[in-house]
A and B are shown apart, each in its own frame.
Chain A
Amino acid sequence: MLTNIKEGKLLKKNIVQIKDVVKRFGNVLALDHVSLEIPSGEFFSILGPSGCGKTTLLRLIAGFEIPDSGEIFLEDKMINSTPPYRRNVNTVFQNYALFPHMNIYDNVAFGLKLKGIGRAEIKERVMRSLDLVGLSGMGDRKPRQLSGGQQQRVALSRALVNEPPVLLLDEPLGALDLKLRRQMQVELKSLQKRLGITFIYVTHDQEEALTMSDRIAIMQTGKIEQMDIPPQIYERPRTEFVANFIGISNLFSGNLRNGNGKIYTLTTSDGFEIKATGEGIRPERNATVMVRPEKIQITPGEPKNMSHNINILQGKIEDMIYLGNVIQFIVKLKEQKLIVLEKNYDKTFEFKPDQDVFVSWDIYSTFVLSERVENERLFAQV
């Protein structure tokens, strides 16, 4: 399936390209040499903590900000200085920004009227667009008479009615409650697939990004840390930041040696030796490796399978947390604690707090994270 996506990518043209863009606000570096390419029809998510530059990146594509340096291309045209009203993109704003003095019909018809389209066609397209988001018959109401979820749909309808090749969405579901958000996620995704429009979707909700996106860019302090398909982001986070931001990670730090080929050995400060895989990693330095909690097995005695491809450590159960379908164990090694998630089957209940246990996992589930050069430089200065 992964190869299919890759093949698909080759066939499709990039509709949006951002090349080495820098944007400052005073002395805040909001975007720090950002580059990305988005193929036509992709659901592309930008995920990152608050203040990392997500909105700024969208605003640059929409035309509300001009980059200090670098270039932005839309459908192969350089649009750095094209004003927003001449760009073939539409935006769903974070707080919807519906025009309060117009009814829903006029809100949705706004873009079409400006294009000088005939009355009859406008009416037909507005009706179709309202229908698409399940709001037919609401045309006469004013925005303030609608619920948050309905206003969100109007914002979506107002943008989609213009049939833009690219739709920019800035945390469009952020203001909705959890249940409505989950429902809208499904609707948005199926709408995007059906219409074939490129979505550039900003969110700080990792689950949302993982479930909806074709590809995700993880941002931190104005930089893209990693850009990949969702399984890759989860299974192969490249940096410590991504590993911690997406899901739960167990991290080990220590001195890294190269074993043979792609297998490395990390010696932690409390003396554990952990084997990990990696590619093109520079050994003989301090490094961090990671393993996801659900990849780890917990056993009362030493595991029978004595393959060399397994990391085995000894520890003591410090805590057990019942989460329903899974049980979360906190296992204390010498100094470090490890989070382990086990499926909830009957045997899991035989474990008791303070019990001595073995934890083991496949070395191919352990990865050496890449160093963040900037960080090292930063620490060197301190």
Chain B
Amino acid sequence: MSEIRSRKKFNAGEFTLGVHSWLTYIFLYLPMAILVIFSFNKARINAVWTGFTFEWYKVLFNDTALAGALVNSLIVAFISTAIATVIGTLTAIAMYRYKFPGKGLFDSVLYMPIIVPDIVMGISLLSFYVFIRFTLGLVSIIIAHVAFNISFVALVVRARLHGYNKTLDEAAMDLGANPFQTFMKVTLPLILPGVVSAALIAFTLSFDDYLITSFVAGIGSTTLPIKVYSMMKFGVTPEINALSTLILFISMILILISQRLGA
């Protein structure tokens, strides 16, 4: 028996890998596919397909509370990304260029927000705001997002700087460029792809952050993830499916752009 089968030998490694990738596809992409499909479903319940419609997208665009949350999320994401990208990039360059006492310690502290669990960050930020009597609102959210995004930006830009030839900066200065001109005309254009992909990652992280935001958001500063979560208490509606589909679509475009630039 076994001799007959041995024409195609059983390979445990190949088999595991195959099963693994199929499971990945099923559990990761199948739910997404279902979500997208049901966002166009006429039925109110996510169970049976009853026909195609754009109805839920119309409902979505007429929902002012949801629109308000979306605007809040965009404001927070844009401003916190801009600030975090500038500070994170400059930090990465400073860390790359200069040696200073306590650099190792600073390095570890810089990447803390990536390692520390979100819940700990949320609680500590909230206690801090309460301690300094800072009113919770969009500003407190933005500051919190800047705080964790700086680390991610610095990490991504630093990876890009790793292969950077410092002699190019010296060549610019040798030709008469002061440090600022050197940065604008030589360093920045060469690391720009890294900076842009860092900004895209920062934007995504800010846009979909739920946990930290839920601690530091105040009344009237509901962001999209918080709003969606509160809507979910009444079950997954086709409206949420439509919203998720849109976000999925935009995220995919951003990821494609960042991959293009990273290459």
A-side residues, CB < 8 A to B, are 62-64, 83-85, 89-91, 93, 95, 97-101, 110-111, 114-115, 158-159, 162
Would A97 and B167 count as touching, CB distance under 8 A?
A: yes
Would B167 and A111 count as touching, CB distance under 8 A?
A: no
- Pick the residue among A64, A97, A114 that contacts B177 (CB under 8 A): A114
The CA-CA distance from A97 to B182 in the complex, in Å, is: 14
Would A91 and B171 count as touching, CB distance under 8 A?
A: yes
Would B173 and A110 count as touching, CB distance under 8 A?
A: no
Would B190 and A111 count as touching, CB distance under 8 A?
A: no
A83 touching B175 in the complex, CB below 8 Å, given contacts A97-B165, A97-B168: no
Known: A97-B167, A110-B185, A111-B175. 17 other contacts (CB 8 A): A63-B173, A64-B170, A83-B173, A84-B170, A85-B174, A85-B175, A85-B176, A85-B177, A93-B170, A97-B165, A99-B186, A101-B190, A110-B172, A110-B177, A111-B176, A114-B175, A159-B174
Please indicate which of the listed interface residues B173, B177, B178, B189 has the most CB atoms of chain A within 10 Å of its own CB.
Answer: B173
The CA-CA distance from A91 to B174 in the complex, in Å, is: 7
A62 touching B174 in the complex, CB below 8 Å, given contacts A95-B167, A97-B165, A97-B167: yes
B24 at the interface (CB under 8 A from A): no
Across-interface contacts of A114 in B (CB, < 8 A): 175-177, 181
The CA-CA distance from A158 to B185 in the complex, in Å, is: 16
Across-interface contacts of A83 in B (CB, < 8 A): 173, 178
Task: Please give the distance in Å from A133's CB to the nearest CB on chain B.
Answer: 16
Across-interface contacts of A64 in B (CB, < 8 A): 170, 173
Would A99 and B168 count as touching, CB distance under 8 A?
A: yes
| Chain B minimum-CB-distance residue to A114 | B176
Across-interface contacts of A159 in B (CB, < 8 A): 174-175
Would B173 and A84 count as touching, CB distance under 8 A?
A: yes
| Chain A minimum-CB-distance residue to B169 | A97
Would B175 and A93 count as touching, CB distance under 8 A?
A: no
| Chain B minimum-CB-distance residue to A89 | B174
Would B165 and A90 count as touching, CB distance under 8 A?
A: no
| Chain B minimum-CB-distance residue to A87 | B174
Task: Please give the distance in Å from A376's CB to the nearest CB on chain B.
Answer: 38
A93 touching B171 in the complex, CB below 8 Å, given contacts A85-B176, A101-B189, A115-B176: yes
The CA-CA distance from A198 to B147 in the complex, in Å, is: 53
